[in-house]
Structure 1
Amino acid sequence: MPNEPDPRYRAQQRENAEPEERSQPMPLIVAGLVLAMVAFGVLYILMSDPFGNSALGDRRTVADLSGPAPAAPGAAVDGKQIFTANCVACHQATGKGLPGVFPPLDGSEWVHGDARTLANILLHGVEGEIEVAGTTYKGAMPAFQQLSDAELAAVASYIRSSWSNKSDPLPPELFGQERKASTRTTPFEGGAALKALAAEKPT
């Protein structure tokens, strides 16, 4: 028999070659895009405004975020500021409200009518149907008992003298009196309950 190769050699021939690691360079177009993005980011940072406090990302100051400072004892309270902070979202800066949704304050009989009724609306809120300037609204107005008597008087006086309203201001004492006199813990049940209140004689 002719000389046969060593069986170990044949086994080695059947095995696959060792895999090779080949370098896969990044395509030039991808490298170009990455470099362009990095360059844009660097330029944007260099050309933008100086960095500020990260907590004030919209550049409001600490005073802005703290809200209006409480009025010092004896100082006048800004009714317009209180209106803007608490009422303008519904009744709008024009006092016209939103048709069919939130009633107007401009020309409202509840605003320039009985002062005691207006004070109780602000103190206790209203839920249910109420007619304002000939239109019936059904919704809810929250109570603002958390405001001081001076703040309630300021915002009431503001809406009574703004837009087309030309009524007299209300004193803080009225709100203090109504706050103490009432045991109500729920909002008034619409316009009917407010009319009943107006018909009552204050104690």
Structure 2
Amino acid sequence: MADPSEERQAAAARARENADPHENRAPIPRYVLAMVAALVAWGAFYIVTSESEQPSALGDSRTLADLQGKPKSAGGGAVDGAAVFQARCVACHQATGQGLPGVFPPLAGSEWVVGQEARLASIVLRGVTGKLTVKGTAYNGAMPAFADQLSDAEIAAVLTHVRSQWGNTAGPVTAEAVAAARTQTATMAAPFDGDAALGSPGG
């Protein structure tokens, strides 16, 4: 029969050999806690006070106006008529002002362009459809209305531009003249019906 004291000694030895591991839990130093708290406070302050509206230096820096193709003003606040033409008109009337034969009428030498400025402004504001005769050739296309897309100053600038290009020598168009045409045609619900509605270019 085994001696109980020997069994107790053997059990104690096994317990010492297979003792459960344990971690020494040392407290976090106070200076570390202070540094963490300071960093958190600084981060919160930076987020609250940073300029959220300031554009990022990375990524696409274009503005909404750039994406919409709106012409930028030249120095002094004047609108660049050439830029308006490039953004709004060149696809149909072409950079040469010759348009596309049988499809879009020319602006170069057009009696409508060099004629009465109020009539020309009204066409740009309200658009035109149906038969329109330009330099003896009939066109049956459609020109969109720009009253809701361009300001009086922008329309005046682009009309002044086309009236002085490609051999055209007509005078400038003012924003006031465009504003008057806008008021006179404000009740129009549809574009001009070509020659029938517009009459003669200089009339």
Q: TM-score, normalised by structure 2?
A: 0.64
Distance (whole Å) between structure 1 residues aligned to residue 177 and residue 109 of structure 2: 22
Instruction: Output the CA distance in 2 between the equivalents of 1:173 and 1:74.
Output: 18
Equivalences for 1:23-34 in 2 at 5 Å?
A: none
Where structure 2 has 5 or more consecutive residues not aligned to the other structure, the ranges are 1-57
Q: Which residue of 2 aligns with 1:92?
A: 94
Contact 1:116 1:198 in 2 (8 A): no
State the AA in 1 paired with 2:88: N
Deviations 1:29-78 (A, max 9, x none): xxxxxxxxxxxxxxxxxxxxxxx95xx6xxxx625546446549961100
Match of 1:186 in 2: 190
8 Å contact kept, 2:119–2:201: yes
Q: 2:179 aligns with which of 176, 191, 194?
A: 176
Using the TM superposition, give the Cα deviation of residue 194 of structure 1 relative to its aligned residue in structure 2, in angstroms.
0.7
Q: Equivalent residue for 2:168? A: 165
Supply the AA of the counterpart residue of 1:189.
D
What letter corresponds to residue 82 of structure 2 in structure 1? K
Tell me how far 1:185 sits from its aligned partner: 1.8
Poorly superposed stretches of 4+, deviation over 6 Å: none
Aligned length: 142
- Determine the C-alpha separation between the residues in 2 that align with 1:172 and 1:113: 17
Q: Which letter maps to 1:164?
A: G
Tell me: CA distance 1:163–1:116, structure 2 relative to 1, closer, same or farther (3 Å).
Answer: same
* Corresponding residue of 2:20: none
Structure 1 equivalent of residue 118 of structure 2: 116
Q: Which of structures 1 and 2 has the bigger CA Rg?
A: 2
Q: Identity rate of aligned residues, in percent?
A: 52
Aligned to 1:44: none
Q: Tell me which amino acid in the other structure corresponds to 1:163.
A: W
Question: What amino acid is aligned across from residue 62 of structure 2 in structure 1?
Answer: V
The TM-score, its normalising length taken from structure 1, stands at 0.64
Determine the structure 1 residue equivalent to 2:109: 107
User: RMSD in angstroms over aligned alpha carbons?
Assistant: 2.4
Return closer, same or farther for 1:196/1:65 CA change in 2, 3 Å cut-off.
closer
The residue that corresponds to 2:144 in the other structure is 142
**Where does the alignment leave 5 or more consecutive residues of structure 1 unmatched?**
1-51
